[in-house]
Amino acid sequence: MPAPAAMPSAAARPAAVQKPGRESGLELLRILCMLFIIADHYAGQSGAAVYDTLPRALFFSALGAGSRLGCDIFVVLGAWFLCRQPFHTRRALGLWLSLWLYTVPLTLLCWFIPGSGVGLGTLRWAMFPVSTQQLWFVAQYILLLLLSPALNLLLRAAPRPAMRGLLAAVGVFLVGYPTLFAEDGIFGDWLWSFVFLYLLVGYLRFYPDNRLSRLMQAPAAPWLALAFVAALTAGRGAAQWLGVGGKVMQYLEYYRTALGAAPNLLCALAFFFAFQKLRLGSVGAVNRLASATLGVYVIHQTPAVMGLLWTGLFHTADHAGSAGYALFVIAAVYLGCTAIDLARERLVMQPIRGSRWFAALCRRGDETLGALDKIFPDR
């Protein structure tokens, strides 16, 4: 009887292929964007922003400088990866469930807090957060996810000259007019801006040898973007302090808040490419914090929570004009909401994603919307 074959040694066995972790440069950008968004919400919602002196005006203008820019960057981040990936229902369904499992429990919890002001209208909003668009960014992003198979089909099917012409023609209305006249025009809805930015980023990803990508990846691009944000912040702060209004303030405010204004789009692309080039490796702490950005946004912006957070928990009006207290609250909101979201992800969302009914819904959705991915092969 032949001797049994010897088992291969550990050294001889092929090592298991480990999936590399996410590069942390873009994850760090997510964290910074969320901090800017919280800072803007503090300046605009807390009642603590004061513009009575030039230093205070500049400080609180700086807090509000990066919110819409951060929103553009989040869309750029999503579009860059989604345009090359097949549609997965679990993304949209998981995002909707994450939203709903925050708005409803948080609103019901606030219902029992005296003086919260939660009524039937607030509960109705909590039950239909996408339809009512109180959390406008998440609502539009879910719709963008649902549209992504059709947008990806367009990117794959349209010849390059046709795609370039479409972006140029639509850009006249979505970017050109708002930039020139500091008003939205006929395509003022946020979803239009999201769709345009998705197609623009998809074009840059499909055809990397384009002039815009080369300009945005130039070494000076992020520094010029930073200089523009700083100049806009200084101008707005000085105008607030001096009480300047009219057209000057209209342009300063519009360029700060408009998703489709050319300066915001170009700055978002410049920062995206700059952080994409960072070679930080996969830093576990950074990636873990970045994974909670959605939860941070939803928790602190749920309408039932908003007033209680600023005035009830932190009493921000009692610290009006304080730069130190503002920075403390921004950090506390970010870290507190992050801790809540990481715990909820582990205790609630992971079991849901592993359930049979969730898998069945995802399979049905992939069979329906995912069929668009098979019409034209990827480039």
Query: 271 vs 16, 26, 97, 372, CA distance in Å?
Result: 36, 10, 30, 32
Q: Would 146 be classed as within a structural domain? A: yes
Among 261, 51, 117, 250, residue whose Cα is nearest residue 177: 261
Other CB atoms within a 10 A radius of the CB of residue 196 amount to: 22
Instruction: Per-residue pLDDT tens, the chain, 379 aa: give them.
Output: 344 333 333 334 344 444 456 789 999 999 999 999 999 999 999 999 999 999 999 999 999 888 889 999 999 999 999 999 888 888 889 999 999 999 999 999 888 888 777 888 888 888 888 887 778 899 899 999 999 999 999 999 999 999 999 999 999 888 888 889 888 876 666 888 899 999 999 999 999 999 999 999 999 999 999 999 999 999 999 998 998 888 888 888 888 888 888 999 999 999 999 999 998 888 999 999 999 999 999 999 998 898 889 988 999 999 999 999 999 999 999 999 999 999 999 999 999 999 999 999 888 888 877 666 666 656 5
Q: Would 11 be classed as within a structural domain? A: no
Number of domain units in the chain = 1
Q: Would 333 be classed as within a structural domain? A: yes
CA 121 and chain centroid, separation: 27
| pLDDT of amino acid 259 | 84
Query: 244 vs 99, 178, 238, CA distance in Å?
Result: 40, 21, 8
Q: Would 290 be classed as within a structural domain? A: yes
| pLDDT of amino acid 14 | 40
Residue-range definition of the domain harbouring residue 297: 24-374
Q: Would 18 be classed as within a structural domain? A: no
Q: Would 274 be classed as within a structural domain? A: yes
Among 241, 243, 317, 330, residue whose Cα is nearest residue 57: 241
Q: Would 3 be classed as within a structural domain? A: no
Distance CA 334, CA 336 (A): 6
Q: Would 314 be classed as within a structural domain? A: yes
Among 364, 308, 268, 319, residue whose Cα is nearest residue 116: 308
